């Protein structure tokens, strides 16, 4: 059974520092990778998608993908208190539309 693993946290990071969130997946057939942010009581919000090995940057966010190691990460630079949320990693196989989610990492930014 396909698994997506995340450290549940909580991960505490001082304001202004870099937050690093990690995710591993078990299925080598996984082709697309997504990071969602979910505030308590709210719906998941897409932050980043990445499909190729390497880094992808968007503002303060950088997604990193290493398919050989089956590892995807999200870096948040200059962390802000508003970044405090649960971050969900999701993977999708080519030709299969469903997302498989990890259980999420709870991130707290300390002012």
Contacts with other proteins by CB under 8 A lie at: 31-32, 34, 36, 42-46, 49, 51, 88, 90, 92, 94-104
Give the shortest CB-47-to-other proteins separation in angstroms: 11
Place of tokens 């992808």: 56
Give the shortest CB-71-to-other proteins separation in angstroms: 19
DSSP state of 96: -
* Closer residue to other proteins (CB): 23 or 79: 23
CB-count exposure of residue 42 (10 Å: 0-12, 13-18, 19+): exposed
* Closer residue to other proteins (CB): 90 or 107: 90
Give the shortest CB-23-to-other proteins separation in angstroms: 12
- Residues 78 and 94 sit within 8 Å (Cβ to Cβ): no
Instruction: Extract the tokens encoding 37.
Output: 């942010």
* Closer residue to other proteins (CB): 17 or 42: 42
């Amino acid at each position: 059974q396909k698994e997506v693993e995340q450290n549940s946290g909580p991960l505490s990071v001082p304001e202004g520092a870099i937050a690093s969130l990690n995710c591993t997946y078990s299925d080598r057939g996984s082709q697309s990778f997504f990071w969602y942010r979910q505030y308590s009581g709210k719906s998941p919000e897409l932050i980043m998608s990445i499909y190729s090995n390497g880094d992808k940057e968007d503002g303060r966010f950088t997604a990193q993908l290493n398919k050989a190691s089956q590892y995807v990460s999200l870096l948040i630079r200059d962390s802000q208190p508003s970044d405090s949320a649960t971050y969900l990693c999701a993977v999708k196989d080519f030709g299969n539309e469903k997302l498989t989610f990890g259980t999420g990492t709870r991130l707290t930014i300390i002012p």
